[in-house]
Amino acid sequence: MNLESRFIDAGGITTHYYDVGSGPVMLLIHGGGAGADAYGNWRDCFPILSQHFRVIAPDMVGFGRSDKPSPDTYVYDQPGRNRHISDFIDAMGLDDVILVGNSMGGAAAIGATLIKPERTQRLVLMGSAGLPIPERASPQLMHNLNYDFTVEGMRRVIAGLTAPGYQPPEELVQYRYELTIDPDTKAALAAIVAETRKGTLNFDQALLTTIKQPVLVVNGKDDGVSPVARAVRFLELFDNSWGYIVPHCGHWAMIEHTDDFCDIVLRFAAMELAS
């Protein structure tokens, strides 16, 4: 699928994004692992979801082809990513949006909804960050936090993000590795990891209960980064929430089980809700 790169100023951050399809808007927000960006996370979902929606997928600040401000002048914490995604929605003039976020992108979807709840129609949180479960970083997450900027290190990152037995395409390994090796990206990623270790990804749980939009919580049954226990807690906190657990799946349902993931997202997006 041919994807045209586009750029827009979002709150002073030059932001790279893809925009395909037509109709109601579905905004896809990628995760925060080493080498993550909109294309690598969502490339297999674009041709499926764009048959029914206008699909927009930005690179978060510090990732992909978006700006990577110096950590000397910019704090790479979750509140900053929340503002960036909120500013991106403003800059694009979007409203009544379905937000779909994976991992750190799920936290950004939550954060943007809390900033301006009137713009979010529905939320899909897949392996989402945002709650302190587990209390300590898992061995799978440590592969990402300890990434050493080598190809073999990237293989370890991907192994930690996927279910046992998953074999990533070699070009995906190389693509994600090459996204991490320029100096500005290295500096941004180091700052993101440092802030992640402080726990800034997590929200006050009482604040999460104020979100009343319909929420679909998707989780891989074998996700070692964001375990099923976190998904269950999200379901307890969100009044209007549905859960979908994918067997033989790690942290990357959109990559490991693309058809299944897209199918449940489309069914949720089309679901008639009781008034």
Active site residues: 103, 223, 251
Which residues on neighbouring strands pair with residue 15, listed in sequence order? 8
- Contact of 235 with 241, CB cutoff 8 Å: yes
SS3 233: helix
- Contact of 56 with 92, CB cutoff 8 Å: yes
In single-letter form, the type of residue at position 140 comes to: Q
Work out the angle at residue 184's Cα, subtended by the Cα atoms of residues 46 and 31, and round it to the nearest 5 degrees.
35
> C-alpha 173: how far from its chain's center?
18
CA distances from 83 to 39, 110, 247 (A): 22, 11, 34
Q: How far apart are CA 200 and CA 214, in angstroms?
A: 25
| Concatenated DSSP letters of 87-134 | HHHHHHT--SEEEEEETHHHHHHHHHHHH-GGGEEEEEEES---S--S
